[in-house]
């Protein structure tokens, strides 16, 4: 059975109704297109801005990781020093005497 072609003219037994609705439909379709296009442009701008923000935040996270790594290294060196070991022992002795 033949399928209705999308190009077939809209049908109405009452020609006035068909003509009126064809015109209303076409006019509104053109308006809808303008709005849809404006939305695409707006969403594209917002997407680009969001992407930029993601990149900034990614860089900040990378920088924070690097700083953390350096500070961790300093911290480890400090804990491994003789001065720190002596101080830890004095502190442990003091706590034992007080207890």
CB-based contact 51:43 (threshold 8 Å) = no
Note whether 98 binds other proteins by CB under 8 A.
no
Residues 14-43 that bind other proteins (CB under 8 A): 14, 17-18, 20-22, 24-25, 28, 32, 35-36, 39
Q: How far from 87 is each of 23, 92, 93, CA to CA, in Å?
A: 90, 9, 10
Q: How far from 93 is each of 45, 66, 80, 89, 98, CA to CA, in Å?
A: 65, 37, 19, 6, 9
The stretch among 10-18, 50-58, 74-82, 88-96 that binds other proteins (CB under 8 A) is 10-18
Backbone angles phi, psi at 18, to 5 degrees: -60, -45
Q: How many residues bind other proteins (CB under 8 A)?
A: 25
| DSSP category for residue 9 | P
Q: Considering the complex, what minimum distance in angstroms separates the CB of residue 8 from other proteins?
A: 7
The span from the CA of 11 to the CA of 68, in Å, is 72
The stretch among 6-14, 51-59, 73-81, 86-94 that binds other proteins (CB under 8 A) is 6-14
Among 13, 74, 90, 95, binds other proteins (CB under 8 A): 13
Site residues for other proteins per CB under 8 A = 1-4, 6-14, 17-18, 20-22, 24-25, 28, 32, 35-36, 39
């Amino acid at each position: 059975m033949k399928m209705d072609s999308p190009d077939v003219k809209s049908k109405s037994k009452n020609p006035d109704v068909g003509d009126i609705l064809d015109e209303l439909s076409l006019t509104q379709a053109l308006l809808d297109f303008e709005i849809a296009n404006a939305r695409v442009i707006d969403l594209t701008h917002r997407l680009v801005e969001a992407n930029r923000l993601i990149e900034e935040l990614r860089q900040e996270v990378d920088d924070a990781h690097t700083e953390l790594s350096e500070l961790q290294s300093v911290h480890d060196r400090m804990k491994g020093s003789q001065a720190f070991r002596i101080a830890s022992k004095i502190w442990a002795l003091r706590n034992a005497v007080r207890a």
